[in-house]
Chain A
Amino acid sequence: QVQLVQSGTEVKRPGASMKISCKASGYIFTTFLIHWLRQAPEQGLEWLGRIDPSNGHTHYSRHFQNRITVTSDTSTSTVYMELSSLSSEDTAIYYCAREIPETTWFDPWGQGVLVTVSS
């Protein structure tokens, strides 16, 4: 079955960077887009950016444009998201999610990874 499995919980200091991963299985990796989203504690959902693993093309939310980098490794069917200059406001559960190109909806989602930014 289609699965997105994310890396584990992280704790970071303010000003540091984080890099989390999302490993896909159960489908042809290069035929779907992978997105990154987040959900702050008891808050709603926020979209960060996406990648097309077939060509590495990325598209980022302008709210994160200057500090997000999303990459993919087709040899391991894994997508990575790096976020720099972390602050306490970046404390959230980070999800990866799959999109059929041009449908604009996400299915399935990874299990989520909690990233805590604290001094």
Chain B
Amino acid sequence: DIVLTQSPGTLSLSPGERATLSCRASQSVNTNYLTWYQQKRGRAPRVLIYGTSRRATGIPDRFSGSGSGTDFTLTISGLEPEDSAVYYCQQYGSALYTFGQGTNLEIK
């Protein structure tokens, strides 16, 4: 199984700052199959970025994704209080879908 390791575990930033979230895979991931989700407390996840860098419908351009191989990044610029959530990366490979353990983003 491809294991995704996200860092940091928790990130505490102020409004207006930039957040950089990392997702590292134990094996190379097809860039078409790397996705980022946002999950707010008590809610289901929602897709932010698919195919490594493509924003899902309705997602503001403050959210951007990049990466290749085993290293992927979600960047959130101009943080807003509503960005407080847990962010997960997800990949598909070897007939299995796996998720990272999440990064908890707190907005001070």
Contacts and interface: CB of A to CB of B under 8 A. Distances in A.
Given A44-B100, A44-B102, A106 B95 contact: no
A87 interface: no
Nearest to A107: B47
Q: How would you classify the secondary structure of chain A's contact residues: helix, strand, loop or mixed? A: loop
Contacts of A61: 96-97
Contacts of B99: 44-47
A108 interface: yes
A104 B97 contact: yes
A110 B44 contact: yes
B96 A106 contact: no
Interface string A76-119: 00000000000000000001010000011111111110000000
A111 B44 contact: yes
Nearest to B47: A107
Nearest to A46: B99
B45 A109 contact: yes
Contacts of A59: 95
Contact of B96 (A45, A47, A103, A112): A47
Given A104-B97, A109-B45, A45 B88 contact: yes
A46 B96 CA distance: 10
B50 A103 contact: yes
A97 B108 CA distance: 32
A44 B69 CA distance: 23
15 contacts: A44-B88, A44-B99, A47-B98, A47-B99, A59-B95, A61-B96, A104-B91, A104-B97, A105-B47, A105-B50, A105-B90, A106-B35, A106-B45, A106-B47, A108-B44
